[in-house]
Structure 1
Amino acid sequence: MPHTFDLLVVGDANPDVVLGPLDAPLAFDQHEQLVPDGALTLGGSAAIMACGAARLGLRVAFAGRVGDDDAGRYVRDALTARGVDTRGLRVDPELPTPLTVVLTRAGVESDRAIVTAPGTLRATTPEDVPADLLAAARHVHAASYFLLPALAAGLPGLLSTARAHGATTSLDTNDDPAGRWDPAGLAAVLPHTDYLLPNAAEARKLAGGTADLTEAATALAGRGPVTVVKNGAEGALCHDGHTVTRAPAFPARPVDTVGAGDSFDAGFVAGLLAGLPLAGALELAAVCGALSTRAAGGTPAQPTWDEAYSLITRERKNPA
Structure 2
Amino acid sequence: MRTFDLLVIGDANPDVIIGPLRAPLDFGQREQLVDRGLMTLGGSAAITACGAARLGLSVAFAGRVGDDEAGRYVRDRLAARGVDVSALHLDSGCSTPLTVSLTRDTGRAIVTAPGSLDTLSGRDVPERLLTRVRHVHSASYFLMPALARDLSTLFRTARAAGATTSLDTNDDPAGRWTSAPLTEVLWETDLLLPNAQEARRLAGVPEDAELREVARSLTRLGPAVVVKDGAAGALYDDGSTVIRAPAFPIEARDTVGAGDSFDAGFIAARLRDRPPPQALALAGVCGALSTRSLGGTDAQPTWAEALDPSPITGALPS
Q: Name stretches of at least 5 consecutive residues in structure 1 with no aligned partner.
A: none
Q: Would the alpha carbon gap of residues 251 and 268 (structure 1) be closer, same or farther in structure 2, given more than 3 Å must change?
A: same
Match of 2:305 in 1: 307
| Alignment CA distance shift 1:319-1:252 (3 Å) | closer
Q: 1:313 Cα shift?
A: 10
CA separation of 1:148/1:275 partners in 2, compared to 1, >3 Å: closer, same or farther? same
Change (3 A) 1:200 1:312: farther
Residue 319 (structure 1) shift = 6.0
Corresponding residue for residue 203 of structure 1: 199
Alignment counterpart, residue 174 of structure 1, candidates 170, 175, 182: 170
Q: 2-side partners of 1:100 and 1:68: how far apart?
A: 17
Indicate the residue corresponding to 2:2 in structure 1: 3
Aligned to 1:278: 276
* Contact 2:7–2:130 (Cα < 8 Å) also in 1: yes
Q: How many residues are aligned here?
A: 315
Aligned to 1:25: 24
Could you tell me which of 145, 148, 151 is aligned with 1:155? 151
**Aligned-partner residue type, residue 92 of structure 2:** P
Question: Equivalent residue for 2:142?
Answer: 146
Equivalent in the alignment of 2:54: 55
State the alpha-carbon separation in 2 of the partners of residues 143 and 319 from structure 1.
28
- For residues 1-320 of structure 1, the aligned pairs below 5 Å read 2-106=1-105, 108=106, 111-210=107-206, 211-311=209-309, 320=318
Task: For residue 91 of structure 1, report the CA deviation from its aligned partner.
Answer: 1.4
Structure 2 Cα separation of the partners of residues 200 and 155 of structure 1: 23
The residue identity in structure 1 corresponding to 2:125 is V
TM-score, scaled relative to structure 1 = 0.96
Residue deviations 1:207-266, cap 9 Å, x none? 012422111101001111000000000000000001110111001111110000000000
Q: Give 1:153 shift.
A: 0.5
CA RMSD in angstroms, aligned pairs only = 1.5
1:219 and 1:313 map into 2 onto residues whose CA distance is 40
| Structure 1 contact 287–312 (Cα < 8 Å) conserved | no
Q: How far apart are the structure 2 equivalents of 1:252 and 1:170?
A: 27
User: Alignment partner of 1:22: what SS?
Assistant: coil
Q: Aligned letter for 2:286?
A: C
Tell me, in whole angstroms, the C-alpha distance in 2 between the residues paired with 1:114 and 1:76.
22
SS at match of 2:16: strand
Where does structure 2 lack aligned partners over 5 or more consecutive residues?
Answer: none
Instruction: State the alpha-carbon separation in 2 of the partners of residues 130 and 105 from structure 1.
Output: 41
Task: For residue 219 of structure 1, give the secondary structure of its aligned residue in structure 2.
Answer: helix
Structure 1 segments of 4 or more deviating over 6 A? 312-315
Matched position secondary structure for 2:131: helix
Separation in structure 2 between the aligned mates of residue 233 and residue 319 of structure 1, nearest angstrom: 13
Q: Percent identity between the aligned chains?
A: 65
- Between the aligned partners of 1:298 and 1:276, the Cα distance in structure 2 is 24
Q: CA deviation at 1:183?
A: 3.2
